[in-house]
Chain A
């Protein structure tokens, strides 16, 4: 448009011009979780079917209630090793052959080992569903668990452990979990340690497999463009033969964690690192808690999203980080609350003290105001509809019901239960579940920049070398 082009500025306002008035967000979109048809296979495994036919795809998720918290104390990482070995081959196919077979179905098997569960997930086309279930059935019933495969898995995992120790966020996560949970089985992650991995034998893997990978307690979820009858029949056909091995017993359940490690500053020095990874928090609640919806609301307000207090403070007002987030990590028997961020090195003491101030303020000096609370609730309740879009989202939502043994109407109660959260409930939840005084502070970075200043936080400072 040449030099005469003008962008409307402040002076161009026309009184009462609705053009410049932000429209309201409109009526909330109410959705209900699609019906889950439930059946039980002859071997005791549960099968849940969810019809979702926007696109001709099918997601299959198998949830087995065995995770890294079931690792024996002498073998952290065993659940992960066992899971890796499951797709290293069956009696018919080796590791590559199995991957090729899944690929020929337009699919790929992913195995995710969490603290409480191991979840096998794949997405495929409806015409390949039976074939995909057959391969999954092979993996569950006829894994090879060969010594030679263990050697390969061991080497790959040792290499991965070696590599993750140069990742600041992996170091901080490991330091935080271990400090918060101590010797409790939640205190280590899926990768375990090199020392344990070097020792593990194929007999241990086989025993763990026999005790853990059992149909009773497992849930097979099939969501997508397939009807329940067809899903159940295919599941029975392909996984009905999966049985617990004779003479083996189930792994022991994970105990409840009760005591957090003491409040302290844990320093992992990385001389020359340009940034500091910061993780501040403490032991938290298990998923089963009456105040669940108050905690979810509290998190949204304090640090769960971009427009939460902590990110607005550290990123938007001060420019000290690319982002800061808080989370309640709800597990079956326990959990954590923490704030994670990555900041410029010289800002480390300021950031840590600001995070602790925010922890204190939300349950004390600056409780959630009515407007602020309504905004947080609105973002969660109105946004709920976004979680129902894909077959994989639905399968993994159902997997949470299975993992935590939640009531069938959990997702339909979510919106009204969040709407019912009061300012008092949030303040009370904050006082008990976000505790600056109990917080463990993990800092991974160049300590020469900030070690002395962190000592003034009034909690002991210890140097840590994190075992990988």
Chain B
């Protein structure tokens, strides 16, 4: 579906090129296979803080990273997850060399420009980001509480990607330099270029700009996840108006058996107006004020969640029972033929809509890199779609029975300050490290 060629430079850098000449536009996208899962305990948040530092400008970029690319008409951003860090720019075709040069310069020559002052200012920016996006946002700490409860303290998914404030404050510029030396090098990166380029010409450019950056140390993947602790009931008081229940189940890793089935299951159960719980809990009975579900796919193991916000006056126990009943029904009877047909059409359409943009989060260049980094095969698009098209009633029944049983759930009640009476019985206060 996305024609491409894949190349590997002598230093190990993998390069994927996709030509699309509809518009004079080019997407440059680079993934470093490092995320918060690679962090050492006590240094949480370093991968994400480092992502910020990558935008401060490398040695030969005295005007910083943003300004030259914005002046060239580019749009750019980056993001960090537990598993990877990605950076992208979308530029007019004439600025392709500039965009690649900027990436190469920060891959090779970031450290000489990394001053203590830059580091400390950016740490403050990240602490602001944490307060704005999580601490000061309703329900913003719920996922932190769940990760800390579900994963043991030495598990790479135990701590939040944004980091603990105390760890961020303790980090030094030397930590950042060491992090760069260990993880930011050609053999740990995948570069995708999509758009109005000629493959031969752009590969010559890539060879010239990236080819002389030395390969780095060999890396080991993060530790294998340890066994998960027993299920539990947790409670968080927050600056919120309505109580909300999170039902969270450990589930298969990204691309593992059952991953796509659970993604489809999430839509069937509680996503959008066509979902079962929307009809019963929200539309018909109005016991919920909001609903959602998702299979949060990650490299080392995933979490499947159903989130239900109570309508005023409704106890979270009532929502828990309704969700578990629906899962039980799904395990017993499976989805209807109409539900599965809808899921197939939606998969086909959503995969097609994903081909509309060259760059940015989720654009074609980002997808090529995601497939390349996680499966080694940039052209995994068709196999990925196929996982959704072939989901059967029996698959859904089996996945629900195997993964979504009460005995495996972590249940978090988030309630307004001082109103624990709405929470599930037997819930203990959640830990959110600050």
Q: Which residues of A contact B (CB under 8 A)?
A: 1-2, 5-10, 19-31, 54-57, 95-96, 99-100, 103-108, 123-125, 152, 155-156, 159-160, 162-163, 165-168, 270, 272-275, 305-307, 315-322, 342-344, 375, 378-386, 388-392
B97, B124, B341 interface centre (most CB from chain A within 10 Å): B124
A-B contact count (CB 8 A): 241
| CB of A183, distance to nearest CB on chain B (Å) | 28
Bound Cα distance from A97 to B32, whole angstroms: 45
Q: Which one, A9, A31, A159, A305, contacts B112 given CB within 8 A?
A: A9
| CB of B417, distance to nearest CB on chain A (Å) | 9
Which residues of chain A are within 8 angstroms of B240 by Cβ–Cβ distance?
Answer: 163, 166
Q: Which one, A9, A31, A155, contacts B59 given CB within 8 A?
A: A9
- Do B215 and A1 touch (CB < 8 A)? yes
| CB of A317, distance to nearest CB on chain B (Å) | 7
Q: Which one, B311, B345, B353, contacts A105 given CB within 8 A?
A: B345
Which residues of chain A are within 8 angstroms of B215 by Cβ–Cβ distance?
Answer: 1
Known: A96-B283, A106-B345, A322-B129. A386 touches B25 (CB 8 A): yes
Q: Is B138 an interface residue (CB 8 A)?
A: yes
Bound Cα distance from A271 to B363, whole angstroms: 42
Interface residues of B in 57-83 (CB under 8 A from A): 59-61, 64, 66-68, 70-75
Q: Is B231 an interface residue (CB 8 A)?
A: no
Which residues of chain A are within 8 angstroms of B279 by Cβ–Cβ distance?
Answer: 96
- Do A382 and B92 touch (CB < 8 A)? yes
- Do B70 and A275 touch (CB < 8 A)? no
- Do A7 and B214 touch (CB < 8 A)? yes
Residue count of chain B within 8 Å CB distance of chain A: 87
| CB of B414, distance to nearest CB on chain A (Å) | 12
Known: A155-B286, A275-B128. A103 touches B242 (CB 8 A): no
Q: Which 3 A-B pairs have the closest CB atoms?
A: A26-B94, A382-B73, A106-B349
B72, B346, B350, B355 interface centre (most CB from chain A within 10 Å): B72
Q: Is B22 an interface residue (CB 8 A)?
A: yes
- Contact mask B24-43 → A, CB, 8 Å, 1/0? 11000000000000000000
- Do A155 and B311 touch (CB < 8 A)? yes
- Do A319 and B121 touch (CB < 8 A)? yes
Bound Cα distance from A168 to B136, whole angstroms: 8
Interface residues of B in 311-351 (CB under 8 A from A): 311-312, 338, 341-342, 345-346, 348-350
Which residues of chain B are within 8 angstroms of A162 by Cβ–Cβ distance?
Answer: 241-242, 312
- Do A57 and B352 touch (CB < 8 A)? yes
Which residues of chain B are within 8 angstroms of A381 by Cβ–Cβ distance?
Answer: 73
Bound Cα distance from A125 to B74, whole angstroms: 30
- Do B349 and A384 touch (CB < 8 A)? no
Bound Cα distance from A322 to B55, whole angstroms: 13
Which residues of chain A are within 8 angstroms of B22 by Cβ–Cβ distance?
Answer: 54
| CB of B162, distance to nearest CB on chain A (Å) | 11
- Contact mask B205-226 → A, CB, 8 Å, 1/0? 0000000101111000000000
A25, A95, A96 interface centre (most CB from chain B within 10 Å): A25
Which residues of chain B are within 8 angstroms of A375 by Cβ–Cβ distance?
Answer: 67, 71
Known: A9-B112, A25-B94, A31-B23. A103 touches B342 (CB 8 A): yes
| CB of A340, distance to nearest CB on chain B (Å) | 12
Bound Cα distance from A123 to B75, whole angstroms: 24
Which residues of chain B are within 8 angstroms of A155 by Cβ–Cβ distance?
Answer: 286, 311
- Do B128 and A342 touch (CB < 8 A)? yes
| CB of B433, distance to nearest CB on chain A (Å) | 15
- Contact mask B127-159 → A, CB, 8 Å, 1/0? 111011101111000000000000000000000
- Do A29 and B24 touch (CB < 8 A)? yes
- Do B60 and A317 touch (CB < 8 A)? no
- Do B98 and A57 touch (CB < 8 A)? no
Q: Which one, B23, B73, B137, B349, contacts A383 given CB within 8 A?
A: B73
A29, A160, A379, A384 interface centre (most CB from chain B within 10 Å): A29
**Interface contacts beyond A26-B96, A100-B338: sample of 7 additional A-B pairs, CB < 8 Å, sorted by A:** A7-B108, A56-B352, A104-B345, A155-B311, A167-B137, A273-B136, A375-B67
Which residues of chain A are within 8 angstroms of B352 by Cβ–Cβ distance?
Answer: 55-57, 106, 125
Which residues of chain A are within 8 angstroms of B136 by Cβ–Cβ distance?
Answer: 168, 273-275, 342
B92, B131, B279, B358 interface centre (most CB from chain A within 10 Å): B92
Which residues of chain B are within 8 angstroms of A22 by Cβ–Cβ distance?
Answer: 60-61, 68, 98, 101-102
Question: What is the chain A residue whose CB lies nearest that of B11?
Answer: A1
Q: Which one, B105, B123, B272, contacts A319 given CB within 8 A?
A: B123
Bound Cα distance from A44 to B345, whole angstroms: 34
Q: Which one, B66, B121, B272, B358, contacts A318 given CB within 8 A?
A: B121
Which residues of chain A are within 8 angstroms of B123 by Cβ–Cβ distance?
Answer: 319
Bound Cα distance from A124 to B356, whole angstroms: 13
- Do A1 and B216 touch (CB < 8 A)? yes
Q: Which one, B73, B124, B338, contacts A378 given CB within 8 A?
A: B73
| CB of B207, distance to nearest CB on chain A (Å) | 12
Question: What is the chain A residue whose CB lies nearest that of B244?
Answer: A163
Q: Is B357 an interface residue (CB 8 A)?
A: yes
